[in-house]
Structure 1
Amino acid sequence: MNILVTGAAGFIGYHLSKKLLDNGHNVIGLDNINDYYDVNLKFARLEQLGIQRNIVKTFGNIALSDIYPSFKFIRLTLENKEELNALFEKEQITIVCNLAAQAGVRYSLENPETYINSNIVGFLNILECCRNHSVKHLVYASSSSVYGLNKETPFKVCHTVDSPISLYAASKKSNELMAHTYSHLFGFRTTGLRFFTVYGPWGRPDMAMFLFTKAILNKNSISVFNNGDLERDFTYVDDIINGIVPILEDKYTSSYNPEQLYNLYNIGNSKSVKLLSFIEEIEKTIGIKATKVMKPMQPGDVKATWADVSDLERDYNYRPNTPIKIGIKQFVDWYRAYYNI
């Protein structure tokens, strides 16, 4: 298989690309390497895959890995329909995992146009390329944020998701609807994955794990929203990757019907952890007590997330098994090594 991974310089995209390459697949990585957060971190992830920074400066040129002979990388935006179409034509892509998107709930309050361009227009271009180039299966990132004002927990895929409270969430709900339409009209498989608060080594600097660790190590205060009355289904990145790969490789169980073209799954740890407990575990791991500044709820945020992953467990034998204590230690160890602390 020739697998296209969009967002390959991103947190989950990097880990997924590495796992697929280690499993012996041909992988084409795509990323626009925008400056939403530190591009040095994005380039450093690519270097782990054998793509050197000096050869990815130009948009549209394919770079070859000096570690993985089966890995190619192209710097490209999903909004560039012509070059995206040419890539599908040239590389004869059979499977797509679309992780590229403008992320972040809070950023969407300030830069709404970015979300429409990347998450709506860009996703439409991916769907069109899949349609026109006989792609067998499109797997794409949705988000737990689509549950919005839903009060019933744990969140189940069958729950109504008609009340998103951020443009980011609305864009992800739109992706699910668009994928359903294309599966119905054009007969190719689409699988949406609603991610729940992913953390781990090489994580995003705008997420809680990274922000808390950085602040505590620098002995700065941390902002704790809703006065700490928040819960999240924190999911270690390896558990996420171990859920995605069998879907891309079609390693489903006998209960799954491959003739069903449109599918949605929650992918999380299936446990809700109190934010203050999460912070306490970071404090224990680092050995420094955090100075907490209690703040009110932020616009677009939700009080609690909790994934029901029974569908993914049934169809793909999904078993998240990384305890918070272990996952936090893995991240802190990586952070200290990466920043020479």
Structure 2
Amino acid sequence: MSLPFDLPQRPRLGISACLLGEPVRYNGGHKESSLCSLTLAQHVDFVPLCPEVAIGLGTPREPIRLVGDPSAPRAVGSTRRQLDATEALAAYGRTMANELSDISGYIFMQKSPSCGLERVTVYQTDGQHAARSGRGIFARAFCALRPDLPVEEAGRLDDPVLRENFLTRVYAFAQWQALCRQGLSHNAIIAFHSRYKYQLMANDPVQYKALGRLVGTAGEHPAEELGPRYFSALMAALTKRATRRTHSNVLQHLCGYLKKHLNRAEKAELQRLIEQYRSGIVPLVVPITLLKHHFNGHPDRYIAQQAYLQPHPEALGLRNAL
């Protein structure tokens, strides 16, 4: 079968530099993530950034923290309040959002006053109360300008469901970037949607139907207008996590393409594995592997180009724990 994740170049991902083992934290240390530095680095090219070092705070340095209104906090020194890095961090976030136009995702350091995506501690001015509802200054400014970009915190990637979802989005984003470099056209958008049909069905069945209707009106809109509108909706849909129920529904749809080729025992085996997956007895990779085996023996051109059967490199083993 073809490999839908094949790309002309490896995806590039922004990442908090401390996660790759760079000694850039306030105390001169790091927060190396073996998932990032050892596993993912075999498949993607990282662009490491440390906003606090980039704006000149140095290493080691006085730590900063978020203070004030959780919806619009300031990033100030933990002992010297006159050290206010808010505007510099926000400006750097906007600059890098524009400069890193070719990245396909970003992995942020959790809980960081500059890079945390959510649940960052925000202290009140009295110093006695705190709320864990903030977002890092750099991350907020960066993400505001790149709303479609797949982003995640390193700590959340320890969850196999979140990890698989994030990498699915990264490779979809990279595929779209490759398409845009070749030039948007109505046919290209329709082909891309066709490729992601079953992945969409697994992640968000409601949006799967809505996007099908949108693509069905492709001829009514210029490709350069339809493309960004379609892709924003696609990325929002893929952010929703697939469930055992929605995966099982997709697996049943794929079985339909084999009904004329398999004997009764082979069909029964497929159904048994899908039911075992739905019940939580076996991981998703088990019925997927058998389906791919049967499609190798009975090729189908439409199924061969479906991203769902291999949305990311098989070597990552992301579906082994789903």
Q: Decide: shared fold, TM above 0.5.
A: no
- Which has the larger share of helix? 2
TM-score by structure 2 length? Answer: 0.32
Using structure 1 for the length normalisation, give the TM-score.
0.31
Could you say which structure has the higher strand fraction?
1
